[in-house]
Amino acid sequence: MDASRTKVQESIAAGAAAVNGEQPKKSRPVEGGDEIRLRLLRPPPVGAKPEDIPLDVAYEDEHLLVVYKPAGMVVHPGYGHRTGTLVNALLYHVGARPIEISAPSDELDAGRVGLSTIGAVPKQEGNPAVRPGIVHRLDKGTTGLLVVAKTNASHRNLARQFKQRATHRHYEALLWGRLSPKEGTFEGAIGRDPRDRKNMAVVPEEKGKSARTHYRAREQLAHTARATFELETGRTHQIRVHAAEAGHPLLADAQYGGAHVRNGPHGRKRRAFFERLFEQLGRPALHAASLGFRHPATGEAMNFTAETPADLRAVWDELRRVEGA
């Protein structure tokens, strides 16, 4: 039987297994002589449909777009997020038809889609990660700027710039603790956390990809800081992982230890204050504030900025008011 363990488990959970012609209870042990039949569930069709979702476009021409991604929006379809993504909004924006993929060998025509198709088709059957136009990503909770390729030529050029570290990406974040020194570099390979494969972590060089993150404290209070980061590499969750590893997780970042009081007094009143702030923010305190690259067709330097979102400003103002320096 050519099936993954996950597919078998999902089929059993959906009631597609029978023992001796009957659907068994989960607690029933397997006995000698049992005849077990399992009907594997077919994965839902893989694809992406255009959706009329508001799109904040900072720049657009026939080669690319620069867009502002709001908090809560996933960049491309995936497990648990098959609709409502940036890709769905982009497909609608460029007037594309729905994308349907029946096998990993399928090919898409960038001219017909209106977005680049490099890496757009998932390599594994049933994987819903359809991502036309996507050159780089931001986490679901991160706000800020993304460049999207419309043509395959533009995609190749932009991807080369990212690989050669010729792009400029600056982020703003609110952190736990005071940074010392106020300016420096976090360095450490990043890979899957061996204790929890859903997370990333700083790991030995041979088990991850090298990563460097430059930081600078912009303002520091008694137990929190407002900082900017510049990415030299672009690994998954890089800023969040490096900051947490250094003892400065992002405020409200539950995945990496920033959603509870880390520094300063732990009294009930102060804990309640931060719980309210975290609920107000509802996401890791991270914003992709600027993006720079060379235009893939003209070579012109392109630089874009996005002002600090209102939720981060409001949280920092409240921290200033209550905790001060």
DSSP string for residues in 86-140: HHHHHHHHTTPPPEEESSTT----HHHHSS--TT-S-SSTT-----TTBSS---T
d(CA 121, CA 129): 8
Question: Catalytic: which of 61, 139, 253, 317?
Answer: 139
Delimit the CATH 3.30.2350.10 region(s) of the chain.
Answer: 45-164, 166-325
CATH 3.30.1340.10 for domain 45-164: no
Question: Where is 230: in which H helix or E strand?
Answer: strand 224-231
The reported pLDDT for the residue numbered 22 is 79
pLDDT in tens, 21-48: 878 777 778 888 878 887 776 666 678 8
pLDDT for position 120: 87
State residue 103's pLDDT score: 61
Residue 78 is given by DSSP the state B
Question: How far is the CA of 290 from the CAs of 6, 143, 212, in angstroms?
Answer: 40, 11, 18
β-pairing, 286-294 with 143-149?
parallel
Contact indicator for 129, 123 with CB cutoff of 8 Å:
no
Residue-level pLDDT at 106: 66
- How would CATH label the architecture of 166-325? 2-Layer Sandwich (3.30)
Question: Is residue 56 annotated as a catalytic residue, yes or no?
Answer: no
pTM: 0.85
Residues in the chain, pLDDT under 70 = 1-4, 6-8, 10, 41-45, 102-106, 125-126, 325
Task: Identify the H or E element spanning 277.
Answer: helix 268-281
> How far are the Cα atoms of 7, 73, 149, 185, 299 from residue 314, in angstroms, in the given order?
45, 21, 34, 28, 39
